Amino acid sequence: MVKKRDMPVAGELAVAHVEKIYPHSVTVKLDEYDQEAFIHISEIASGWVKDIKKYVKENQSVVIKIISIDENKLNASIKRVSREQEKDKIKEFRMDMRAEKLLELAGKALNKNLEQSYKEAGFTLQEKFGSLFKGFKTSIDNEKLLIERGVPEKWVKLISEIAKKNIGQKEIVFKKFINLKCYKEDGLNDIKRLLKIVEDSGITVSYISAPVYMMEFKGKPKSGDKEFHSKLNAAEKLADEMEIEWKENGKSM
């Protein structure tokens, strides 16, 4: 189960399980903290709640909002959590559960149990990056930042390696259709030379039908499109220098 250090703060959303139901209140156990919270009947749902058991069941998983902390006693609410907040929190919690498995994997490589892994790296990732999952994701492209924020270097290398294998962005294929024409005597060979250069840049070229060629490039969702267009712009500039007409025909993906 995902762990967090210390206590939640007022206003924080948390995943919890209903422990006990009383006539006018409910106690819940927070999944991420070793803490319990009290929910008054007035904070169960909007409107008048006559029978709490019609709204919550024992062992039911709920997303709560911490509304106050009195001498280490947590007071929480269910009704103050919107549907959108509930959805986002559950998604975040599930991603952190996934990241915890990866932390455990990294710990095993260093002969550390899960508790030791949290103390040496996990809690720092949570506190410096907002969540365990975000810390792992950051490590994919920025190991240096983890080190700067206090994660031990021996952990950073393992975390980054594991993150790249398990949560790195999947590549997608970008496509664009280009019309190529050259009216010079040796124009066909010039087009072939241009296409060879385009392919050498990492773009796959397929002949569709004169004068249409399909250009394909595999890359990450965020950076791939920019990289693909940069390569196409360079190819178009070269085509102009070679007196080859380069024109997008409107079909693209």
Task: Provide the CA 64 distance to its chain's centre, in angstroms.
Answer: 23
Q: Which pLDDT belongs to residue 167?
A: 82
Half-sphere exposure of 119 (CA within 13 A, CB side): 5
Instruction: Give the chain's end-to-end CA distance (angstroms, integer).
Output: 41
The side-by-side arrangement of strands in the sheet containing 212-219 is 204-209, 212-219, 172-181, 245-252
pLDDT tens for 47-100 read 899 999 999 999 999 999 999 998 889 999 999 999 999 999 999 999 999 999
Q: Report the alpha-carbon distance of residue 230 to residue 228 in Å, rounded.
A: 5
Q: Which pLDDT belongs to residue 74?
A: 96
Query: Residue 150: exposed, middle, or buried by beta-carbon count in 10 A (0-12, 13-18, 19+)?
Result: exposed
Q: Which pLDDT belongs to residue 85?
A: 95
pLDDT tens for 158-199 read 999 999 888 866 778 999 999 999 999 888 999 999 999 999
Q: Which pLDDT belongs to residue 156?
A: 96
Q: Report the alpha-carbon distance of residue 7 to residue 169 in Å, rounded.
A: 33
Return the amino acid letter for 37: A
Residue 253 pLDDT level (bands cut at 50, 70, 90): very low
Tokens 């490589």: give the residue: 109
Q: Which pLDDT belongs to residue 252?
A: 46
Q: Which tokens sit at 80? A: 């103050």
| Structural domains of the chain ordered from first start | 13-80 (2.40.50.140), 84-166 (1.10.150.190), 172-252 (3.30.70.1130)
Q: Which tokens sit at 208? A: 């569709």
Q: Report the alpha-carbon distance of residue 186 to residue 171 in Å, rounded.
A: 38
Q: Is 180 helix (H, G, I), strand (E, B) or coil?
A: strand
Among 134, 132, 137, which residue's Cα sits nearest to residue 117?
132
Contact of 128 with 150, CB cutoff 8 Å: yes
